[in-house]
């Protein structure tokens, strides 16, 4: 794939986008159309979302764990009562490409789901020229002691490591799943190996989700849907272990909300956005848990500087709208 050669290093200079990027589609849960525009941002700015449909004043929502307001089926950020859902797949794309600084304008309450993975974001960024290095050095959070979180039968453990490693495991009583494990090593595992793995759900849960106003934009074009004994998607799975790969992708996106590059070894079992969010909060709750390596300038939470939202459009991706093959 186009982005298979990308190898991100956790140290070295910060990076931003080479040029603005635009994508359009519908939100997985809201079913509402949304346009997202990604803009380069200065070194030290961090990742910041902006709800541009909030009239008269757009609302900036920093991409930090402190702004997580909901973790049910997706990661939702909020600021001053304005929220933005399903940010994790774009954040995973930015983590995988090593993007430290970007301003992300969205004109609706939820990010477009596109094909249910991070691949469309990566392809659009690559088609617009990829990333460029900046003047400041990347700032890294290094785990210094073990931190654990358990929520029922879901748990996560973070331990010190010289690099970012994520070991995901899932266990479902389903003939297509059973127990799956996947080990991702940042800078070693090709990001393409996880980037195209799609979000998934069980058919029996779809009706209940839709009664709760969720999964309204879901189709077989943007999610893997599991029946009692197989999957409904005509094209099958992209990888035999696509589901656990997607779990690792979700974790990579959620951990981007630390605001830093991360050095740590994460073991995640049956984890989801709630566990990932709780784990970040637990890490930051005790200063002894971690060390910040690099300049004091550059954390995502520090930056509020805005950049030219009037910059020209480059690299428009194909839209993935709601299709007839809804579950
Ligand atoms: Zn996901």
Render pLDDT for 178-202 as a digit per residue (tens, 0 to 9): 999 999 999 999 999 999 999 998 8
Residue 238 in tokens: 């992209």
Which active-site residues does the annotation give?
273
327 lies in a domain? no
269 lies in a domain? yes
* Contact assessment for residue 14 and residue 36, using Cβ atoms and an 8 Å cutoff: no
Rounded to the nearest whole angstrom, what is the distance from the C-alpha of residue 226 to the centroid of ligand 1? 15
Residue 313 in tokens: 């459009």
Q: CA 151 to CA 130: how far, in whole Å?
A: 38
pLDDT digits (tens, 9 = 90+) for 112-144: 999 999 999 999 999 999 999 999 999 999 999
Task: At 311, give phi and psi (nearest 5°).
Answer: -60, 155
Domain that holds residue 151: 13-317
Rounded to the nearest whole angstrom, what is the distance from the C-alpha of residue 312 to the centroid of ligand 1? 30
17 lies in a domain? yes
pLDDT of 209 reads 85
Residue 325 in tokens: 């093959």
**Domain count within the chain:** 1
Give me the percent of the chain exceeding a pLDDT of 70.
Answer: 87
CA 103 to chain centre: 15
- Long-range contact set of residues 120-123: C-beta below 8 Å, sequence gap at least 24: 120/23, 120/317, 120/320, 121/23, 121/89, 121/90, 121/93, 121/94, 122/2, 122/3, 122/6, 122/93, 122/96, 122/97, 122/191, 122/195, 123/2, 123/3, 123/317
Cis bond upstream, residue 56 (ω within 30): yes
Which comes out higher in pLDDT, residue 205 or 267?
Answer: 267
What's the pLDDT band for 3 if we cut at 50, 70, 90? very low
1 lies in a domain? no
Rounded to the nearest whole angstrom, what is the distance from the C-alpha of residue 117 to the centroid of ligand 1? 7
What residues sit around ligand 1, an ion, with C-beta below 5 angstroms? Answer: 199, 250
pLDDT at residue 90 is higher than 50: yes
Rounded to the nearest whole angstrom, what is the distance from the C-alpha of residue 1 to the centroid of ligand 1? 21
CATH number for the domain including 222? 3.30.1700.10
Q: CA 297 to CA 42: how far, in whole Å?
A: 12
Q: CA 280 to CA 256: how far, in whole Å?
A: 10
Which comes out higher in pLDDT, residue 212 or 234?
Answer: 234
324 lies in a domain? no
Rounded to the nearest whole angstrom, what is the distance from the C-alpha of residue 272 to the centroid of ligand 1? 9
Within 8 A by CB and 6+ apart from 227, the residues are 203
Mean pLDDT value of segment 239-257: 97
Residue 110 in tokens: 């939820």
8 lies in a domain? no
323 lies in a domain? no
pLDDT of 321 reads 26
Rounded to the nearest whole angstrom, what is the distance from the C-alpha of residue 127 to the centroid of ligand 1? 23
Rounded to the nearest whole angstrom, what is the distance from the C-alpha of residue 215 to the centroid of ligand 1? 13
pLDDT of 296 reads 52
Give me the percent of the chain exceeding a pLDDT of 90.
Answer: 74
322 lies in a domain? no
pLDDT at residue 323 is higher than 60: no
């Amino acid at each position: 794939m186009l982005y298979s050669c990308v190898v991100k290093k956790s140290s070295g200079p910060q990076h931003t986008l080479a040029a603005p990027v635009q994508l359009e589609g519908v939100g997985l849960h809201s079913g509402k159309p949304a346009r997202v525009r990604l803009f380069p941002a200065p070194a030290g700015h961090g990742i910041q979302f902006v709800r541009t449909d909030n009239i008269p004043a757009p609302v900036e929502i920093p991409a930090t764990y402190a702004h997580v307001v909901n973790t049910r089926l997706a990661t939702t950020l909020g600021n001053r009562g304005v929220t933005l859902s399903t940010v994790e797949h774009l954040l995973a794309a930015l983590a995988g490409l090593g993007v430290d600084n970007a301003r992300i304008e969205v004109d609706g309450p939820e990010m477009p789901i596109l094909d249910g993975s991070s691949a469309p974001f990566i392809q659009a960024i690559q088609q617009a020229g990829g990333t460029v290095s900046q003047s400041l050095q990347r700032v890294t959070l290094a785990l210094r002691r073990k931190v654990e979180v358990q929520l029922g039968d879901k748990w996560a453990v973070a331990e010190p490591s010289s690099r970012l490693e994520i070991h995901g495991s899932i266990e479902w009583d389903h003939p297509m799943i059973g127990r799956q494990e996947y080990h991702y090593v940042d800078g070693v595992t090709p990001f393409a190996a996880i980037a195209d793995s799609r979000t998934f759900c069980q058919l029996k849960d779809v009706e209940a989700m839709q009664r709760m106003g969720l999964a309204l934009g879901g189709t077989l074009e943007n999610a893997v849907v599991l029946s009692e004994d197989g999957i409904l998607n005509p094209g099958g799975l992209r990888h035999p272990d696509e589901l656990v790969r997607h779990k690792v992708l979700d974790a990579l996106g959620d951990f981007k909300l630390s605001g830093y590059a991360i050095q740590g070894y994460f073991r995640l079992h049956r984890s989801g956005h709630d566990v990932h969010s709780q784990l970040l909060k637990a890490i930051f709750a005790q200063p002894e848990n971690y060390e910040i390596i690099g300049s004091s300038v550059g954390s995502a939470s520090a930056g509020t500087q805005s950049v030219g939202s009037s910059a020209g459009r480059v690299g428009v991706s194909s839209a993935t709208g709601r299709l007839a093959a809804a579950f």
